[in-house]
Amino acid sequence: MSETQAESTNTPQDEPTFQDEPSLQDEPTWPGWLAATAICVRFYSRLPFPRLASEGEVHAMPDFRLVPRALPLAALLIALPAALILLGAGLAGINPTLSAVLAVTALVLTTGAFHEDGLADAADGLFGGHTPERRLEIMKDSRVGTFGAMALSLSLLLRVTALAAILAAAGPWAAAGAVLIAAPWSRAEGIYLLATEKPARMEGTSVAVGRPTGRTALIAFCLSAAFAIVLDTSLSPPPFGLVLGWFLSFGTGIVFKRLCRRLIGGQTGDIVGAMQQLSEIAIYLGFALMLGAAKL
């Protein structure tokens, strides 16, 4: 019997449980914007966030049905160190490529390579197996294979070169703005994938935290768009670059979602992490390509 068939014959009593899993049978409770932001910062990064008086156990598995509404706020905090490093390096006249390397390094360190790990595992699984079961098995393996290494290398290279191009063409304020714009939007894309695509397996982080509601994903997108428009207006990245970045991000999300549905039958936590990386690259490329076209 295949793994998929075995899962379909499980009774509710046989379904896996998770330590510290939120009670997903109950109605979700909105913890408030500050608490929700704190939960997202802790979950998505290594940044310290003090325990709030209104919070319970800060290390428990979060309930993501409503909490990601505040993810755009948390994403700005997570990306702020990288944006400040890029801004400072650019104002100091440091080489654009080196400045971009420092910024991307800060992003990786701040998140603990959270999304990069998902990208590598997703690439190994999606392209390293011949059946959905085998692909999911490969994704759970902590070792990085050829496809994962290639995906990580290309992700780092594309982000560094795109940010360097933005910095060289539009200046440090625009480059820092691109980092702050991409951070909320790319994570909102991941939340949308989590909310709209069924889990590929009935265990793992994407199931344990709960699926965000459609309203939650919509609020995350609306907040991300509002932040992007304000930042684009204030820090002067090319406005048509933002539109192109959104277009590339949406297009990438549609193609990636269909690919995952065909190859593994849905999404996993690694798939959501990979979606964030792809969307972040798309936003950077939108700005960089538009700036390059403006010079022609």
Residue 196 belongs to a domain: yes
HSE-up (13 A, CA, CB side) for residue 142: 1
As a whole number of angstroms, the distance between CA 261 and CA 79 comes to 30
Residue 173 belongs to a domain: yes
| pLDDT single digits (tens) 13-47 | 333 333 344 455 567 788 889 989 999 999 999 99
> What's the whole-number mean pLDDT along residues 154-172?
96
Better pLDDT: 90 or 142: 90
- Of 136-150, 161-175, 226-240, least confident by mean pLDDT is 226-240
For residue 280, give its domain range: 78-294
- In the chain, the amino acid numbered 80 is L
Contacting residues for 290 by C-beta, under 8 A, at least 6 apart: 238, 240, 241, 244
Confidence of residue 2 (pLDDT cuts 50, 70, 90): very low
Residue 6 belongs to a domain: no
Residues recorded for the chain? 296
Contacting residues for 11 by C-beta, under 8 A, at least 6 apart: none
Residue 183 belongs to a domain: yes
Tokens representing 18 are 């998770």
As a whole number of angstroms, the distance between CA 17 and CA 208 comes to 8
Better pLDDT: 73 or 202: 73
> What's residue 56's pLDDT?
66
pLDDT of 258 over the 60 cut: yes
Phi first, then psi, for residue 17 (nearest 5°) are -115, 165
Place of tokens 């330590």: 19
> What's residue 51's pLDDT?
79
Q: Please give the span between the terminal C-alpha atoms of the chain, in angstroms, as a whole number.
A: 60
Q: Can you give the pTM of this predicted structure? A: 0.86
pLDDT of 158 over the 60 cut: yes
> What's the whole-number mean pLDDT along residues 123-147?
90
Q: C-alpha distances in angstroms, 257 versus 23, 182, 194, 229, 250?
A: 28, 19, 10, 26, 10
Residue 181 belongs to a domain: yes
> What's residue 204's pLDDT?
64
Residue 35 belongs to a domain: no
Count up the domains in the chain and report the number.
1
- Of 111-125, 159-173, 236-250, 274-288, least confident by mean pLDDT is 236-250
